[in-house]
Amino acid sequence: MDKTKNLKFGVIGVGRIGKIHIENLAHRIPGNEVTAIADVFEDELQNVARQYNISMAVQDYKEIIENPEIDAVVICSPTDTHSQIIQQSAIAGKNVFCEKPVDLSLEKIAKTIKVTEDACVKFQVGFNRRFDPNFFQVYKTVKAGKIGKPQVLKITSRDPAPPPLDYLKISGGMFLDMTIHDFDMARYLMDSEVVEVYTSGKVLVDPVFEQAGDVDTAITILKFETGAIGTIDNSRQAVYGYDQRVEVFGSEGMVTVKNNTPDNHIYLNREGTHSALPLNFFMDRYTESYLKEMEAFIDCIRNDQLPSVSGRDGLLSVIIGMAAKQSCQENRPVKLSEIYDFKN
């Protein structure tokens, strides 16, 4: 394509994630235009359109897909709409960026991947944490062999407060909504596939999770093809803020990332040592990663390259999530091969 031409985007879904991508495309990444937005909620749709001076604001997303001027769509709608919109966009020749998960059905994800491949469009899944500067440095350190052979992975991922019941009922549960980011990060940092998971989960934060048939606290043990092992600990409520830490231990060393804080001051007095709490919301913690993942998507389109986060990555994360959910329910280790036939 003409690299001097502005790329024109349509954003489907203008909730909090949609607004992040609109802000980045409209104000933080040069050479792009948000030409159109779609959302079923008319008032919010028009508010966003006025804020960003977007001329095309429609409730029917198909109008965006049918618009010949639009080069790419960014899908931030509810999960149960993702695979359908991705497929329709790809068939229309649009490049596609979609928030996770692609779908909660493995069959639908596999079909979606095939449709995008047959259409020869770029398809990137929104695992933004790969683009976080801190986690990316861990990835580079491990990839360069500086810690030797990776042996143990530890991921801590705890939210500052639980989501509302209405969201829980449609989210797919902790493992497909929250921990799915950690499953993708585990594969990314260890550069190895997960072959088995063993999960223990409980409701320890709020009885509302029982109403949703979910858990709010969990420990997951991962076994990798390389023989390495990993642990992920999750909680839906960390009263001190958004707790996001990673450690990779290897034969020649260790690399770790601590929490981001508003500042790094340390105050000492007779009572002890005091410092700032971790950032309290994912949009604050991962502001830079949302920007960088969209820059990467744009680079793929302009330079005709494959996205670094593919549909296959989206599929594998959901497979691990389903194995973790089954393990939690049945109180036993679950091999990924029990969930998905990798031979087909």
Is the domain spanning 130-288+317-339 CATH 3.40.50.300? The answer is no
Sequence-ordered strand ranges (E) for 13-85 = 32-38, 56-58, 72-75
Condensed to tens digits (0 to 9), the pLDDT of residues 159-168 reads: 999 988 888 8
pLDDT at 171 over 90: no
pLDDT at 343 over 70: no
Mean pLDDT of 250-256: 98
Architecture label for domain 7-121? 3-Layer(aba) Sandwich (3.40)
Please report which confidence band the pLDDT of residue 269 belongs to, taking 50, 70 and 90 as the band edges.
Answer: confident
pLDDT at 281 over 80: no
Place of tokens 């994630």: 17
Paired tokens of 208: 């509302």
pLDDT at 239 over 70: yes
Question: What does pTM read for this prediction?
Answer: 0.93
Delimit the domains of the chain by residue range.
Answer: 7-121, 130-288+317-339
Condensed to tens digits (0 to 9), the pLDDT of residues 88-120 reads: 999 999 999 999 999 999 999 999 999 999 999
pLDDT at 215 over 90: yes
pLDDT at 344 over 70: no
Q: Which of 142, 162, 160, 158 is nearest to 150 (CA)?
A: 142
Please report which confidence band the pLDDT of residue 169 belongs to, taking 50, 70 and 90 as the band edges.
Answer: confident
Paired tokens of 163: 């989501």
Paired tokens of 183: 């499953």
Angle at the Cα of 247 (from 171 to 152), degrees rounded to 5?
95
The backbone torsions φ and ψ at residue 173, rounded to the nearest 5 degrees and listed phi first, read 95, 170
- Identical fold for domains 7-121 and 130-288+317-339, yes or no, is no
Q: Which of 289, 339, 325 is nearest to 309 (CA)?
A: 289
Condensed to tens digits (0 to 9), the pLDDT of residues 73-93 reads: 999 999 999 999 999 999 999
pLDDT of residue 21: 97
Please report which confidence band the pLDDT of residue 209 belongs to, taking 50, 70 and 90 as the band edges.
Answer: very high
pLDDT at 2 over 80: no
